[in-house]
Chain A
Amino acid sequence: MQRSHDPAAGAPTERQAWMGLLARAPSARLAALMPADLPQARLLRGPEVGAVMVRGRIGGTGAPFNLGEMTVTRCTLQLASGEVGHAHVQGRGLAHAQHAALVDALLQGPRAEAIRSAVLAPLAAEEAAQRLARADRAAATKVEFFTLVRGEDQ
């Protein structure tokens, strides 16, 4: 699925990509992938539950309008080494937001490579497989229409 980034902003940065991946990940799956030796982190904000107003556009492309809210949990924390991790995740998952913020912080430090392969890689692969399966499932219901000859062409 394509992202709807502001064209002016260009392609999403690496951090935007991993923050999105962590937010979309199933909470239980992220919890299972968290490394065993987690460093101490100081909570700066949250985790706390709130709402975000989701906006649509009139006609899909026109002026914005308010569609309705969604629940979101946010968390900001700081590692002893100074990196600040941040997360906004859909739903009311306090642990999900905290895990995502922790991974975000770790990805900014010396353990980035290890975390990338231990956490991000499996999440990305699983998400891609799931999307593909869903797209395939939809493709199987694609209609091939044919119009009956009505003799109008003669």
Chain B
Amino acid sequence: MYVAVKGGERAIDAAHAWLAEERRGDQAVPELSVPQIREQLKLAVNRVMAEGSLYDPDLAALAIKQARGDLIEAVFLIRAYRTTLPRLGGSVPVDTGAMACIRRISATFKDAPGGQVLGPTFDYTHRLLDFALLAEAAPATPSAPAEGSATAPAVVPHITEFLNRDGLIETQPVSDAPAPDLTRTPMELPASRALRLQALTRGDEGFVLGMAYSTQRGYGRTHAFVGELRIGMVAVELAIPELGFAVEIGEIELSECETVNQFTGSKTEPAQFTRGYGLVFGQSERKAISMSLMDRALRWRELGEDDSGAPAQNEEFVLMHADNIQATGFLEHIKLPHYVDFQSELELVRRLRRAALAGAGGQDHA
């Protein structure tokens, strides 16, 4: 228990003033603008949008600036802002098959129709610090002349469709059942797959990554291949009741991962490949892959697999600890005044020590 305390206003004001100065840093260094953060720290912006569960690059960049680069603090700011917005509706489910892909790779099919498109990736970089970026006014790299195909962006089919034709992979039951929303109704367990995906896509990237990694190391086996990873822009459509039809309200960038998992069959299902799915705001492929591994690991019950007792198979463990704002809230509350709690514990420890010392003393004299 913590108690309200009064006083300290002057100290708090001084602390906030200092925080503002620290945020600005050395005045001799030019101030960072929000558009600079949005454009040049785009992957941080993407992470804040994904975990803040609100797609708005300007606001995410502002939050990063305000939070001095503390991304969880920035996510907190976005989550808090989100609660002030009226909900205007829910979109038509996005069609990732119609994505304008800037990146699309498959680890299962080298000759995937539509080809392997690397896009702006860190893969194949040498992970050596580039000291050219350290130099003031680094020369702007001229944009590489495109390999002038000048063809209209083609719609690239999902790769798992090909396995589907042979019945080698589980089919995705099509439905338009309304999805549960954990921002409206507290999460209840056991959770549906739709609810798990919502929790995972807004979950902390580090947590979801760590859990996914644990499955690869043998704690809840998911022998996963990246069937397909794609990144690109997708149109968002909203049905407007007063118009009686749906209109496109904008475009968002998404990362989508479909893993293909070996499955030797169970009591209820024949041997075939199964799927894990990840879909995340922005360019966040590490998160998308992690999410699809976790999606697959948590499906053990419906696939009739054994519970090996691994943390990654424990829905309660994964879903209740994935949210970094919930975690931060509870973790950091212990720095609030707990003077009364602590006072009583102090009394207790003193009493126990007195009793123990008295007892020990008594024995010595016996």
Chain A contact residues, CB within 8 Å of chain B: 1-6, 9, 13, 16, 19-20, 23-24, 48-72, 74, 76, 86, 88-92, 131-143, 145, 147
Contact = CB atoms under 8 A, between A and B. Distances in A.
A2 B246 CA distance: 15
Interface in B210-242: 233, 235-238, 240, 242
A132 B118 contact: no
A90 to B, nearest CB: 3
Given A53-B90, A67-B201, A59 B258 contact: yes
Contacts of B268: none
A70 B86 contact: no
A153 B13 CA distance: 77
A76 B195 CA distance: 34
B54 A136 contact: no
Given A1-B233, A64-B179, A59 B172 contact: yes
A145 B110 contact: yes
Contact of B116 (A76, A142, A147): A142
A1 B242 CA distance: 27
A134 B153 contact: yes
Interface string B255-270: 0101000000000000
Interface of B: 49-50, 53-56, 58-59, 82, 85-103, 110-111, 115-120, 143-144, 146-155, 158, 160, 172-183, 193-195, 197-198, 201-202, 233, 235-238, 240, 242-243, 245-252, 254, 256, 258, 275, 277, 279, 281
Nearest to A4: B95
Interface majority SS (helix, strand, loop, mixed), chain A:
mixed
Contacts of A147: 110
Give me the 5 closest cross-chain CB pairs, A-B, nearest first.
Answer: A90-B250, A4-B95, A20-B248, A136-B146, A135-B153
B341 to A, nearest CB: 37
Contact of B246 (A1, A5, A89): A5
Contact of B247 (A2, A16, A58, A135): A16
A53 B240 contact: no
Contacts of B97: 60-61
B250 A89 contact: yes
Given A50-B87, A57-B96, A68-B198, 16 more contacts: A1-B235, A3-B235, A4-B98, A51-B85, A51-B87, A52-B238, A58-B197, A59-B277, A61-B174, A66-B180, A66-B183, A67-B94, A68-B55, A134-B102, A135-B151, A135-B154
Of listed B93, B146, B179, residue having the most chain A CB within 10 A: B93
A13 B243 CA distance: 12
16 contacts: A2-B95, A4-B94, A6-B246, A51-B87, A54-B91, A56-B254, A59-B275, A64-B93, A66-B181, A68-B54, A69-B82, A72-B250, A91-B56, A135-B153, A139-B117, A142-B117
Contacts of B120: 141
B109 to A, nearest CB: 10
Most buried by B among A23, A48, A76, A88: A88
Contacts of A3: 98, 235, 237, 248
